[in-house]
Structure 1
Amino acid sequence: MSLDKLKLSKPLVAAMTDAGFLTPKEIQARTMSRILGGQDVIAVGPEGAGKTTTYVLATLMKLKYAFEEAPRALILVPDIEHVDHVLEQFKLLNRNSTFRILGIDSRGVIETQMNEITDGCDIIVAVPDRARALYLKLALNTNKIQLFIVDNAELIVKKGLQLPVVELANSAYKSQHVVFTEVLHDKLNHMIAPFMKDSAATIEVEEIGEKQAEVYQQMLYQVPNFRTKLNLLTLLLNDAEVFDKVVVFVNTRLTAQTVYKNFNHKKEGEISIYRSLFFDDKGYDDIEDFKANAEARVLIVANENLGELDIQGIPFILHFELPEQKETLIQRIVKHGDDDVVAITFSTDIELIEVRKIEQAIGQKLEVMELPEGLKVVDAASKPKKKKGEEDEDTSERGAAFHEKKASNQKNYNYSAGAKAKMTYKNKKGLS
């Protein structure tokens, strides 16, 4: 498909060609006509899909002429880095400097920014909280905004900036609303619901990269919050017949302790922590001791200052939290030899961004599993009330530490096959 199919002006086609964009991306081909036609749009696509270029082109096309006193396009982005990136894209494509474009973020003095806006501008690229502050000071006039754009909406939600977005969107009630995001989830839907029209089109493109390496069987559980994760972990790992040898990865040593305490320890030494933070938490200093002990079933490992860890031969790898660097998780799920391993990931809405980046990197989607029956889904707004005199956690069965020294180099176990990782987690949770 050629750029002509996007129905851009000749100057914009020339600017795109000069910038090296010779053919439109899928997201541009599928959204441009809708945006130019005035429809509200929710566009979902991975990093590098061409989302920024799409709305920069659409903005330059829709505004047609420049130099009005009040801004006619407001673009909200999550942080300073994104402000700079969007301004660069406008500089690349707004070749004749036809439009006056203003970047607004925390680096500027707010009084100076007030003066810059009132002096006149056509397009504002801003972080939500600073834009709201200028709106409340009556410097940002939203009455003439024709195009209200939210970019990287998933990061805006992650940063907790929903309130200023909704307030600004509602103030620009005459405008067309366009949202770009890498993922779509309940928290994001809750943010955009007050201002997106019922006729809004949702367009999703998936650009999974080429498969880089063979990985273990991947399963994904999507849950609303941390407490529900704890409930799900407990529910799954109560099945000792299936999960007979598991490594559970969390991000910090404090979280490792929280997860450990959440279990009802029915059997001494069954659940333990790798290099635990506190001496009264049962644990191991060497993973080989965990592998060698047939009674030890679950090892909780913190990513914090972890370094190398040999988890080969353990049939279940469970990521309770996603590590900060996707490469950390990917290294653990790359297939080694004939090992039969099931890799299970828990993800909240906020973490779905990282899940998508992992899928892009490994070249395949994680299989989404149905939440099991009996799972208690915790309402994030409510906290369980403690009865008077009740302890925070059940510590009655926690005895003295048993940081075992290395018992023997001789291995009398074979978890590498994991009985085909328990028939690939009982035929993907069919539990037949």
Structure 2
Amino acid sequence: MVWLDKFKLNKGLSRTLTEAGYLNPKEIQLKTLSRIIGGQDVIAVAPEGSGKTTTYIIGILNRITRGYDDAPRVLILVPDKERVEAVMQQFDQLKRNDTIQIVGLYVTPGIEAQMNALADGADIVVATPDRARAIYLKLGLNLNKIDVLIVDDAEDMVKQGLQLPVAELANSITKSQHLVFTEVLHAKLHKMIDPFMKMPAIVEAEELEAIPLNTHQQLLYNVPNFRTKLNLLNLFMQDDELFTKTVVFVNTRVTAETVQKSLKHRMRESVVTINPLSYESKSVQDVAEFKQDDTLKVLIIANENADELDLSGIPFLIHLDVPEEKELFINRIVNNGDDDDTLAITFSTDIELALVKKIEQASGKKMPLAALPDELVIDTDKKEKEAPAEKPAAKSKKTEPVAGEAFHEKKAANSKTYNYSSGTKAKMNNKRKH
């Protein structure tokens, strides 16, 4: 059997994989399974549909051969309820040992049923970070015996703002193997996972279409935020001789109005929008009208006006926002002519890089990453701007109590620096002991 020969999986699991239709390992499995089985921390970067979830399920089922331990051994964190159910369904498809108990935790009315399920016994917990953290703080989730912590769809965790519960759960586990699966790897994701990863192996797998589409030349600019996108666009538009005609794509008409106001300070009446949000904004009916008027330099189009467009002959196509629908993006950059002088430029934040990867996978082409110009002003977040230059000096510790102060130092007995056993937790929550 292929799986048995390549990875030394147990015979029962190898047979189950073959019967389930997994005849040959995918690229991500060839690159990561041996490391996972060997106990190494791994960051696996691969596109949607490449087999990331199957990879860690195989690794777990190869490790856990029997169930009914007194506490969970594996904690899998996923972004939402749908992913919890999908992962559990895939476990059911591949596991043949009915003694292995899997419990799903996600936000739903009432928390008692999920705590009861944990008290009855769980070997593998698949959970959203916020619900797992809530049950942990209620002493219903025992993390003392977690051997493997898995963060799946990690880029979506960052996108949904779940970094804090992920970090708190990871820090509450004393010792375990850490596996992170993501479509993209960027600075915000590193900030979430770096504190608990231990010298991880970073493994990347690309699954582009075998026959790439014929597209315009492309460039990708990775910027930190929307304000920096506007700065970069304004910087480009200063070169009137190069950027003679430019179409700028954004996701909404609200954004289109913001972009038009930003460019209008310098370009005045040479910036127009199709179907603008405000009647005060200068507009055109279609792309043909923009092409025919030599006084117009920039046309802004919102995805809300995503009719079929004739973009031929326009030298620059700039996606200020990356659309959710990859087909919409690809239709704009496909080169239908032999003579191609059009350059398609994409501005992307870290959060949008996952959409860029989907576009690359579908088009069969990587977007070359361009260096940001030295003259570009990198805008900081509003919170950073308003932050004081220096922190106020910390209050000196007082050796004597002061009248009127409404706080006191926490007693050592009240500090939570421990985990209860699952049996104790069940008793404390008036649950039946398992």
The 3-state SS of whatever aligns with 1:276 is: coil
Amino acid across the alignment from 1:244: T
Report SS of the residue matched to 2:372. Answer: coil
- One-letter code aligned to 1:193: D
Say whether residues 1:159 and 2:160 are aligned partners. Answer: yes
Moved more, 20-29 or 373-382: 373-382
In 2, Cα distance between the equivalents of 1:267 and 1:40? 52
Which residue of the partner structure matches residue 66 of structure 2? Answer: 65
Matched, 1:42 2:74: no
Corresponding residue number in structure 2 for 1:240: 240
Decide whether aligned partners of structure 1 residues 266 and 379 sit closer, same or farther in structure 2, where only a CA change above 3 A counts. Answer: closer
Partner of 2:108: 107
State whether residues 150 and 178 of structure 1, in contact with CA within 8 Å, keep that contact through their aligned partners in structure 2. Answer: yes
**Distance (Å, rounded) in 2 between the aligned partners of 1:366 and 1:124:** 38
Query: Are the counterparts in 2 of residues 248 and 301 from structure 1 also a CA contact under 8 Å?
Result: yes
5 Å-filtered alignment, 1:385-424, equals none
Give me the whole-angstrom Cα distance separating, in 2, the residues matched to 1:267 and 1:105: 51
1:344-381 per-position Cα deviation (integer Å, ceiling 9, x unaligned): 11110000001000001010101111101111112225
Q: What are the Cα deviations for residues 309-344 of structure 1, in whole angstroms up to 9, with x where unaligned?
A: 222221111100011211111111111113421111
SS in 2 for 1:24: coil
Instruction: Give the Å deviation of 1:281.
Output: 1.3
Give yes or no for the alignment of 1:122 onto 2:136: no
Amino acid at match of 2:120: D
Partner Cα separation in structure 2 for residue 109 and residue 9 of structure 1: 39
Matching of residue 287 in structure 1 with residue 287 in structure 2: yes
* Partner of residue 371, structure 1: 372
Instruction: Give matches, 1:150-189, under 5 Å.
Output: 150-189=151-190
Whole-Å separation in 2 of the counterparts to 1:211 and 1:265: 44
Report the counterpart of residue 419 of structure 2 in structure 1: none
**Aligned amino acid, residue 313 of structure 1:** G
- Greater displacement, 81-90 / 143-152: 81-90
The equivalent of 1:191 in structure 2 is 192
1:234–1:118 CA distance, 2 compared to 1 (3 A): same
3-state SS in 2 of match to 1:266? helix
Is residue 211–residue 364 contact of structure 1 (8 Å, CA) maintained in 2? no
| Alignment deviations for residues 363-409 of structure 1 (CA, whole Å, 9 cap, x no partner) | 01011111011111122254667xxxxxxxxxxxxxxxxxxxxxxxx
Work out the CA distance in 2 between the residues paired with 1:171 and 1:248: 47
State the distance in 2 between where 1:300 and 1:89 align.
Answer: 45
The 8 Å contact of residues 273 and 281 in structure 1, kept in 2 or not, is answered as yes
User: 2 CA distance for matches of 1:148 and 1:267?
Assistant: 53
Match of 1:347 in 2: 348
**1:28 aligned to 2:29?**
yes
- For the residues of structure 2 that align with 1:234 and 1:268, how far apart are their CA atoms? 13
1:293-372 superposed matches below 5 A: 293-338=293-338, 339-372=340-373
2:147 maps to 146
Deviation of 1:277 (Å): 0.9
Q: Which residue of 1 is the match for residue 217 of structure 2?
A: 217
Once the two structures are TM-superposed, the CA of residue 143 in structure 1 deviates from its matched residue by 1.0
For residue 345 of structure 2, what is the amino acid of its counterpart? I
**Post-superposition shift, 1:86?**
0.7
8 Å contact from structure 1 (residues 265, 271) kept in 2: no
* Per-residue CA distance 1:102-125 (angstroms, 9 max, x = gap): 111123631111111111110011
Partner Cα separation in structure 2 for residue 301 and residue 45 of structure 1: 32
Aligned residues: 384
CA contact (8 A) 1:183 1:352 kept: yes
Q: Distance in 2 between matches of 1:177 and 1:240?
A: 52
Measured in 1, the distance between the counterparts of 2:102 and 2:235 equals 54
Give structure 1 stretches of 5+ with no counterpart: 386-432
SS at match of 1:269: helix
> Quick one: which amino acid aligns to residue 133 of structure 1?
A
Alpha-carbon deviation of 1:222? 0.6
Give me the whole-angstrom Cα distance separating, in 1, the residues matched to 2:74 and 2:371: 42
Partner residue of 1:255?
255
User: Whole-Å Cα distance in 1 between the matches of residues 248 and 355 of structure 2?
Assistant: 18
Alpha-carbon distance in 2 for matches of 1:381, 1:299: 29
* Structure 1 match to 2:95: 94
Amino acid aligned to 1:270: S
**Counterparts of 1:182 and 1:70, CA distance in 2:** 31
- The residue number in structure 2 matching 1:391 is none
- Please give the alpha-carbon distance, in whole angstroms, between the structure 2 residues aligned to 1:255 and 1:121: 48
Deviation at 1:2, TM superposition (A): 2.3
Map of 1:6-25 to 2, 5 A cutoff?
A: 6-25=7-26
- Structure 2 counterpart SS, 1:311: coil
Q: How far does the alpha carbon of each residue in 1:158-201 deviate from its partner, in whole angstroms, 9 at most, with x for none?
A: 1111111000011012111110011100000000011111x211
Deviation at 1:264, TM superposition (A): 4.9
Contact 2:149 2:176 in 1 (8 A): yes
Q: 1:270 to 1:262 in 2, by over 3 A?
A: same
Q: Which amino acid aligns with 1:106?
A: V
Preserved CA contact (<8 Å) 1:275 1:284? yes
Taking structure 1 as reference, are residues 212 and 202 closer, same or farther at Cα in structure 2, changes over 3 Å only?
A: closer
- 1:206-254 alpha-carbon deviations (Å, 9 max, x no partner): 1111235211111111111111111111111211111110000001111
Which range is displaced more, 246-255 or 30-39?
Answer: 30-39
- Once the two structures are overlaid, the 10-residue window that deviates more, 25-34 or 328-337, is 25-34
| 4+ residue runs over 6 A deviation | none
Q: Please give the alpha-carbon distance, in whole angstroms, between the structure 2 residues aligned to 1:140 and 1:269.
A: 62
d(CA) in 1 for partners of 2:98, 2:26: 25
Provide the secondary structure at the position in 2 that maps to 1:367. Answer: coil
Deviates more, 1:339-348 or 1:282-291: 282-291
C-alpha RMSD over aligned residues: 1.5
Q: Which amino acid aligns with 2:13?
A: L
Contact residue 6 and residue 28 of structure 1 kept, 8 A: no
Distance 2:215 2:62 in 1: 45
Contact 2:132 2:141 in 1 (8 A): yes
